[in-house]
Amino acid sequence: MTVGAGKEYCGEHEPTDRTTDSESGTGDRIPCPLDPKHTISAAKLEKHLKICNARPPVEQKPYIVPGINCTSDEEQSEAAEGVVGEKLADIPLDKLKALIEKVNRLYDSVELLMKEQSPRHRILEQELTIEHYGPQTLKHLTQSSALLGLLEQYDFLQNDTAFVEFGAGKGQVSYWLARIVETQLQNCKVLLVDRASHRHKKDNKIETREIVQRVRADIADLELHKVDLLESSKRLVGIGKHLCGSATDLALRCLVRSRPKSGVLIKGCLFALCCHHRCEWRTFAGKRFLLANDITRTDFERIVRMVSWAVCGTGRSRDQQEQELNDSKPDRCGLTGIQRETIGKKCKRILDIARLNYMVENGYNAMLNCYVTSEITLENVCLICVDK
C-alpha cells in the first residue's frame, strides 16, 4: 500500500489513534475481528466482514472436526499456574539455574540422532543460477532444494503417492514438488493445507491442475483421511517447510491419528522445524518423553522461552547481540553470551527429541537432520520419519 500525503505509514500500518483519526476525518481504524493481524476502517466493518480472507467457510467440510488433533484423551495436562507468559527475567535465580542444570543433564543423557545431509534436487538446479534473484529468494530456494533432495534420498518420491504440505503458505515447496510429479512420477497428488488464504500463490502456476488441491483448514481440525484427493493413492507423505511451533505437533498428531483410519499407508514425513518458542503444552506431541525425564509443564513453559537464546539472544539489536556473544561478562546465571546460545540450542533439541520419540512410539524410524548451513537459516534442522 502507498503512503498518503502527510502520513508516515501506509493505511495498513498506520497506528490506531482514535483522536488523530477523528480529527483528520479519515475515520477510525480497528483490528479486524476475524484476523487482528490487519486493520480496517471501522465505518466499513460490515462490508469487510463479508469479503475478508479470514472469514470462516459457509459450509463445514467433512474433513473439518474442531480440535481433533489437539491433546488426546489419555494425556493429562497438569496445571502450571503463574508461569504461562512468565518472562525469563522474572524466574527466581535458583529455579532458573536448576532448570539449566536439568537441561544439560537430559541433553547429555540422550542419544542425539542428528545427521548432516544437504542434498540438492536437480529440479531446482537451473533456478538457483538465476542472477537477478536476491539473497533471500536464493536462501528459500536452497532450502526447498535440500528438502526435496532429502525426499528423494529417503525414497519418498514414488509413484502412487499423495504429498501433503502442512502450513503451505504460498506453496513454493509444493510447486516444485508438483514439477517433479509432472515430469518424473505417475499417479501422484499434491495437497496443500493452510488455515489462511494467500495472494500470489505459487501453486496456481502448476499446469496439471488435477494433481493439486489446496485445502483451507487449521491443522488442529483436519481429519486427513477424509480428504477425497487422497483416496486414489497408495501411500501418503507429509511435508512442511518451517512449521511454526505447535503447528509441527498438530501435523505429527494428524498423521498418527490418520494412520489406523486411512486406507492409504502413511509412509512418513519430513518437517523443517522452527519457532520452538511458539510450542504449547496442550498440543505438544512429546509430552510423554518430557514427563518421563522429569521435565514438568512448568519446566516446559520456561524452556520454550529459553530457546530464544539460540536464535535471537536477549531481544536487543543485532549489534548489541553480537557484542554480548563476544562479551565474556556473565549474566545473572553466570553465563556468557556464547553459553546462553548453547543452552538455547540444547532446549530446542530436547523439544525435537521429544517429538522424535513420539513418532518412534507410533511406529516410525525417526531422525533429526541438519539440512542446510546456519548461514542459510538458523532454523536448519528437520525431522525425518519413515514407516518401519
Whether residues 122 and 39 fall in one domain: no
What is the per-residue DSSP string for 11-57?
Answer: TTTSPP-HHHHHHHTS--EEE-SS-TTSEEEGGGHHHHHHH-TTSPP
pLDDT digits (tens, 9 = 90+) for 194-239: 988 888 888 888 888 899 999 999 999 999 999 998 988 999 999 9
Q: What burial class does residue 153 get, using C-beta atoms within 10 Å of its C-beta: 0-12 exposed, 13-18 middle, 19+ buried?
A: middle
Residue 316 grid coordinates: 536487543
pLDDT tens column, 23-47: 444 568 999 998 888 899 999 998 8
Partner residues linked to 366 by β-bridges: 385
For position 315, what pLDDT does the model report? 47
Which residue in the block uniquely carries the three cell numbers 535458583? 94
- Looking at residue 141, which CATH number applies to its domain? 3.40.50.150
In angstroms, rounded to a whole number, what is the distance separating the alpha carbons of residues 306 and 293?
A: 18
Same domain, 167 and 255: yes
Rg (CA), the chain: 23
Please state the φ and ψ torsions of residue 29, each to the nearest 5 degrees.
Answer: -110, 135
Please give the span between the terminal C-alpha atoms of the chain, in angstroms, as a whole number.
Answer: 51
**Domain assignment of residue 4, yes or no:** no
Do 145 and 34 share a structural domain?
no
CA separation, residue 371 to residues 116, 135, 137, 325 (Å): 6, 18, 17, 25
Q: Evaluate whether residue 81 is within a structural domain.
A: no
Residues 43, 113, single domain; the answer is: no
Strands 364-370, 189-194: pairing kind: unpaired
The 10s digit of each residue's pLDDT in 262-311 is 889 999 999 999 999 999 999 999 999 999 999 999 999 999 999 999 87
Q: Under 8 Å CB-to-CB from 53, ≥6 apart: which residues?
A: 35, 196, 197
Let me know whether 120 and 245 are in one domain. yes
According to DSSP, the β-strands at 381-387 and 29-31 are unpaired
- Number of domains the chain is built from: 2
Instruction: Report the chain's mean pLDDT, rounded to a whole number.
Output: 87
Question: Do 208 and 297 fall into the same domain?
Answer: yes
CB under 8 Å to 62, separation ≥6 — which residues?
223, 226
Residues 6+ apart with CB under 8 A from 115: 367, 368, 369, 370
Q: What is the extent of the structural domain holding 283? A: 96-387
Residue 299 pLDDT = 96
Q: Taking the CB of residue 203, how many other CB atoms lie within 10 A of it?
A: 22
Please say if the pLDDT value at position 182 is more than 50: yes
Per the domain annotation, does 217 fall within a domain?
Answer: yes
H helix runs in 231-362, sequence order: 246-258, 287-292, 297-306, 308-311, 318-326, 337-361
Query: What are the C-alpha distances in Å from 195 to residues 36, 57, 198?
Result: 15, 11, 10
How far is it, in rounded angstroms, from Cα 169 to Cα 306?
A: 27
Look at the pTM and tell me if it is higher than 0.85. Answer: no
**Structural domain contains residue 143:** yes
Domain membership of residue 88 (yes or no) is no
Residue 76 lies in a domain: no
What pLDDT does 25 receive? 46
Per-residue pLDDT tens digits for 143-179: 999 999 999 999 999 999 999 999 999 999 999 999 9
Quickly count: other Cβ atoms within 10 Å of residue 134's Cβ: 7
**3-state secondary structure (DSSP) of residue 364:** strand
| Mean pLDDT to the nearest integer, 13-25 | 50
Per the domain annotation, does 65 fall within a domain?
A: no
Query: Is residue 46 located within the same domain as residue 107?
Result: no
Closest CA to 359 of 257, 273, 291, 263: 257
